[in-house]
Chain A
Amino acid sequence: MADGERFDMSATKAKVVARDVSVFYGEKQALFDVDLEIGRNEVTALIGPSGCGKSTFLRCLNRMNDVIDGCRVVGSVKVDGTEILDDGIDAVQLRRRVGMVFQKPNPFPKSIYDNIAYGPRIHGLSRDKDDLDEMVQSSLEKAGLWGEVKERLQQPGTGLSGGQQQRLCIARAIAVRPDVILMDEPCSALDPIATAKIEELIDELRESFSIVIVTHSMQQAARVSQRTAFFHLGVLVEVGETERIFTNPVDERTQGYITGRFG
């Protein structure tokens, strides 16, 4: 997708607009009428106690809920003004533009090179081998991993450390040049040093992508995000500038959560 087209869409500042999104797992409703906007080139953090529907909401944005049997999503989600919950939208194409990084690092059991090259290959993004090599290198560079793996591109991605694996997964996600990157607790399986590296990386990636990150760590939300949304029992309670949410929450449930009274 050309950059020009992207700018044309930027009439509003919001990259993704969710309206009245409700999600049902079978009979059980997990998300209630969520209205949320995701800003362009900024990091939005979703926080809230476990089981409140953060992951469920995140998965609405790239329609990963489609693959769960019995899961139903109603409402409207627009990416750059295009309704993505329509049946006519190809979820596979959507996921190229809205990438995802998961809680547990999940590199393919293939070489580091093939991990990155897989996305560009299946989407036909590269003209030739050199082009692909370049894409692999730039993706790894953006993910801050190039220096550590450039000598061992043909070795298995599963042989890297946990933090490196997660950065490999981020590199894999950005290799298909998405607009939005969704991250579901990307650091929860990592040690503090690896976590710090990823947080640094997220801050850098903000320049090129719009990022939504689910986190259970309020410090992390405070460190990396510009906007924060607080979920509770399937309801979006409050959303606003991160600083304001943490210093001056309006809702008392938010206050209770950030001061550690429940969670």
Chain B
Amino acid sequence: MDEPVAPRGLQVTDAEAAHVRRRYRSERRFRLLGAGAIVMALTMLALLVTSIVSTGWSAFYQHSLKLEVYFDPAVIDPDGKRDPDTLRSANYTSLARAALKAEFPEVEGRRDIRALNGLLSNGVDIQLLKMVQADPEIIGQRLPVELIASDDVDSFLKGFIDRDEQESNRRVKDNEIAWLDALEAKDAVVAKFDALFWTSGDSREPELAGFWGAMVGSFLTLLVTLGLSFPIGILAAVYLEEFAPRNKFTDIIEVNINNLAAVPSIVFGLLGLAVFLNFFGLPRSAPLVGGMVLALMTLPTIIIASRAALKAVPPSIREAALGIGASKLQVVTHHVLPLAMPGVLTGTIIGMAQALGETAPLLMIGMVAFIVDVPGGITDPATVMPVQIYLWADSPERAFVARTSAGIMALLGFLVLMNALAVLLRKRFERRW
């Protein structure tokens, strides 16, 4: 930055010149500090994103073993009546194992057979069951099926397990590596986009664990939160800002709302446990209760933001409407609230984004349980995205590390989406001046 020179013809004394130089120096220093702060923040962000993406990307694809499975009628449906109950209770695992054994007829001995079976995920029975349920005609046929590999095999194939490591320290033994090599030579090892992650609920087996259940849980919970806190928040803000008299009592309310916004979220969880679960007897682990607890937490945020937005509407607009005989309620609903809407919506979405990332209060009301089924309604047991991430981060299996990071990516994705929505809504409403 060049230092500007004094305009020609302007006499400057030495003292003045020194003063001006000092001023420019301090300005330059300030700018440098500011730029430095931004660079630091961006570096941190880049580090965070890189570390999450680099560990999490591998959860988005999954290895399977492509084997000829014989849908043996004797195993699936011995009496040939195609009774759904019989079909459901059949031993599909044995079919998958038979298919694998057919590839390696030479494997003998209980230990080796157990090791061979270990290449396949425990979830293959469900995989085959679903195929049969979808089309019972396949019973009796011999079809190539891509059977999900176990998490250790998947980790090995993704290169996370080093084959040069000493065998005793390796999760995948020499014989297993040999089988996998043989299968790979036959092009029977396939890597594909892991649809399960986006379509299923949690599981004890990392290769079967999906994020969809937590996503639906978060959605239902936030739906309840929004449904409660948005109308209540707006009503409270409008009443306090436009109708309530200014006195000691309303001052106390105002102070308390501000305090409430700073209360640690776990306290709301305890409150929810004591009031909603123990006193009112609402279901545990349910999005209904989770949503109610998070609504308590987001209400202060929404009220404070809405009041600020209402306050920012110029008084001249109120006077104009009052002056032609609008009632107080008409002034608010026709003029003030529409003008305050961008601010109200921004506050609401910020509150929702906070609620989306909240874990602690939900632990208190049992949303931390291990839940396999995708919730179908607001009273079904459910978990939410951040809690699911927490649960996976706590699991010992190696493959859960990637799932954890993948979950974080999904959560961050939703946060970015919500913020984009906030910007979009602001723009939309502001276009009406």
Give Cα A156–Cα B139 distance, bound, in whole angstroms.
71
Q: Report chain B residues within 8 Å CB of A92.
A: 325-327
Asked if B245 is at the interface of the complex by the 8 Å CB criterion, the answer is: yes
B210 to chain A, nearest CB (A): 48
Cross-interface CB contact of B316 among A62, A95, A102, cutoff 8 Å: A102
Do B325 and A123 touch across chains, with their CB atoms under 8 A apart?
Answer: yes
Q: Assess whether A104 is interfacial by the CB under 8 Å rule.
A: yes
Interface string of A51-72 (1 = CB under 8 A from B): 0000000000010100101000
Given contacts A69-B245, A69-B246, are A173 and B325 in contact (CB under 8 A)? no
Q: Is the CB of A102 within 8 A of B320?
A: yes
Q: Is A172 an interface residue (CB 8 A)?
A: yes
Q: Are B323 and A173 in contact (CB under 8 A)?
A: yes
Q: Whole-angstrom distance between the alpha carbons of A107 and B316 in the complex?
A: 9
Chain B stretch 155-200: residues in CB contact (< 8 A) with chain A: none
**Cβ-defined contact, A158 with B433, below 8 A:** yes
Q: Does A224 sit within 8 A of B, measured CB to CB?
A: no
Given A69-B246, A109-B432, A95 contacting B319 (CB threshold 8 A): no
Say yes or no for A119: interface residue by CB 8 A criterion.
yes
User: Beyond A69-B246, A109-B432, is A99–B324 a contact (Cβ under 8 Å)?
Assistant: yes
- Whether B323 lies near A109 (C-beta < 8 A) is no
Overall SS of chain B's interface:
helix
- List residues of chain A with CB within 8 A of the CB of B432: 109
B335 at interface, CB cutoff 8 A: yes
**Shortest beta-carbon distance from A242 to chain B in Å:** 26
B330 at the interface (CB under 8 A from A): yes
B318 CB contacts on chain A under 8 angstroms: 67
The interface residues of chain A lying within 8 Å CB-to-CB of B322 are 64, 67, 95
Which residues does chain B contribute within 8 Å of A123, judged by CB atoms?
Answer: 325
Q: Which residues of A contact B334 (CB under 8 A)?
A: 118, 122
In the bound complex, do residue B433 and residue A95 qualify as a contact, i.e. CB atoms below 8 Å apart?
no
Query: Taking each of B318, B320, B432, B433, which has the highest tally of chain A beta carbons within 10 Å of its own beta carbon?
Result: B320
Mark A78-120 against chain B: 1 for CB-CB distance below 8 A, else 0: 0000000000000011111001111010111110000000110
Q: Determine whether the beta carbon of B316 is less than 8 Å from that of A173.
A: no
Q: How large is the interface on B (under 10, 10 to 19, 20 to 34, 35 or more residues)?
A: 20 to 34
Shortest CB-to-CB span from B115 to chain A, Å, is: 74
Interface positions of B from 202 to 246, Cβ below 8 Å from A: 245-246
A136 close to B (CB within 8 Å): no
Contacts of A198 in B (CB 8 A): none
The reply to whether B433 and A64 form a contact with Cβ atoms under 8 Å apart is no
- One digit per residue, 1 when the CB lies within 8 angstroms of any chain A CB and 0 when it does not, for chain B 23-34 equals 000000000000
| B90, CB-defined interface residue at 8 Å | no
Instruction: Indicate if A258 sits at the interface (CB-CB under 8 A).
Output: no
User: In this assembly, does B96 line the interface, its C-beta being within 8 Å of a C-beta of chain A?
Assistant: no
A122 pairs with B433, CB closer than 8 A: no
Are B321 and A96 closer than 8 Å at their CB atoms? Answer: no
Q: Which of B245, B320, B330 contacts A108 (CB 8 A)?
A: B320
Select from chain A the residue with minimum beta-carbon distance to B245: A69
A122 touches B325 (CB 8 A): yes
> Nearest chain B CB to A185's CB is how many angstroms away?
13
Residues of B within 8 A of A172 (CB): 320, 324
Please provide the chain B residues from 387 to 407 with a CB less than 8 Å away from any CB of chain A in the complex: none
Contact of B326 among A69, A99, A104, A122 (CB under 8 A): A122
Q: Complex: how many Å from CA A62 to CA B316?
A: 16
Q: Do B327 and A64 touch across chains, with their CB atoms under 8 A apart? A: no
Contact A119 B325 (CB under 8 A): yes
Q: Which 8 residue pairs across A and B have the least CB separation, nearest first? A: A96-B325, A109-B433, A106-B316, A100-B323, A95-B325, A119-B324, A106-B320, A92-B327
* A-B contact list, 24 entries, CB within 8 Å: A62-B323, A67-B318, A67-B322, A69-B245, A69-B246, A96-B325, A101-B323, A102-B316, A102-B319, A106-B317, A106-B319, A107-B320, A108-B320, A108-B335, A109-B317, A109-B339, A109-B432, A109-B433, A118-B324, A118-B326, A122-B326, A173-B323, A173-B324, A176-B324
List the interface of chain A (C-beta within 8 A of B). 62, 64, 67, 69, 92-96, 99-102, 104, 106-110, 118-119, 122-123, 156, 158, 169, 172-173, 175-176
Seen from chain B, the residues whose Cβ lies within 8 Å of a Cβ on chain A are 245-246, 314, 316-327, 330, 334-335, 339, 432-433
